[in-house]
């Protein structure tokens, strides 16, 4: 594939230059394993680009990759996929070669992220926005990736809840079934503005799981945030240790 002089197309076609093909084959030093890998990759690429794969939970079957603007600019770090994988940014950018680049800025203007009571089911745009923000099921401790989740109304549709982006988040089917007003049910809400996890979806466990009924968010899909907070704490400890030693010095 890295040989620009290698002929492409049907190897049995009479219009193909046999001489050119034989020379290209003689130059090809790839191992049998590498050639099989490259052939499989070419086949899968054609299939993914064909547009015949239908849809999954309202989105076309395609790779959904999420990363930050700073990662895009520096071309470092990792991107997350909707199925729970991680991909180095360089590989993610390479995947976009030959794809239609679509840049979507979710600014609550122009894109239909607010459907109010006009529709019960979330739109494909809303689902993409939620995949970018939540990355997977939002119940604390659940590791179900975004592809295994449905869009959950924080205020149930039957109770007058709206299909607006602030009132929706991702939950896998088993977790979704745990949310109800009956005994032993979990409750969900958006974390208040002044709280540590402002804007994220908090889940309140029933009293038999947590007698204090402390609301919690899911950190499983946001390990980068946990790492950043741990580094911040370690840095603060180091600074306070240094101050302590300086003050204690004679
Ligand atoms: Zn879940």
Centre of ligand 1 to C-alpha 115, Å, is: 25
Tokens at 177, concatenated:
């079934």
Q: What angle do CA 142, 148, 151 make, to 5 degrees?
A: 90
Using alpha carbons, select from 134, 139, 144, 151 the residue that is nearest to residue 58: 151
Centre of ligand 1 to C-alpha 217, Å, is: 12
Tokens at 173, concatenated:
């089917």
pLDDT tens readout for residues 220-230: 988 777 788 88
66-75: long-range contacts, CB 8 A cutoff, minimum separation 24 = 66/131, 66/132, 66/135, 67/92
Centre of ligand 1 to C-alpha 119, Å, is: 24
Centre of ligand 1 to C-alpha 111, Å, is: 28
pLDDT tens readout for residues 171-189: 999 999 999 988 899 999 9
More confident residue, 77 or 95: 77
pLDDT tens readout for residues 40-66: 988 887 887 777 887 777 666 777 888
């Amino acid at each position: 594939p890295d040989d620009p002089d290698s002929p492409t197309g049907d190897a049995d076609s009479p219009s193909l230059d046999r001489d050119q093909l034989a020379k290209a084959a003689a130059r090809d030093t790839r191992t049998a394993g590498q050639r099989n890998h490259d052939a499989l990759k070419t086949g899968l690429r054609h299939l993914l680009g064909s547009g015949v794969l239908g849809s999954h939970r309202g989105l076309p079957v395609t790779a959904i990759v999420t990363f930050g603007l700073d990662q895009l600019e520096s071309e470092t770090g990792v991107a997350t996929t909707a199925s729970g994988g991680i991909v180095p940014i360089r590989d993610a950018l390479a995947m976009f070669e030959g794809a239609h680049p679509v840049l979507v800025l979710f600014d609550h203007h122009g894109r239909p992220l607010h459907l109010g009571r006009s529709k019960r089911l979330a739109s494909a745009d809303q689902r993409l926005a939620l995949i970018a923000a939540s990355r997977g099921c939002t119940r604390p401790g659940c590791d179900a990736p975004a592809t295994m989740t449905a869009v959950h109304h924080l205020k149930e549709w039957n109770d007058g809840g709206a299909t607006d982006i602030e009132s929706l988040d991702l939950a896998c089917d088993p977790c979704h079934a745990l949310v109800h007003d009956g005994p032993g049910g979990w409750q969900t809400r958006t974390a208040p503005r002044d709280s540590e996890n402002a804007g994220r979806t908090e889940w309140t466990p029933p009293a038999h799981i947590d007698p204090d009924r402390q609301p919690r968010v899911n950190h499983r899909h946001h390990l980068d945030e946990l790492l950043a907070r741990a580094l911040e704490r370690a840095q603060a400890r180091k600074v306070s240790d240094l101050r302590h030693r300086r003050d204690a010095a004679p």
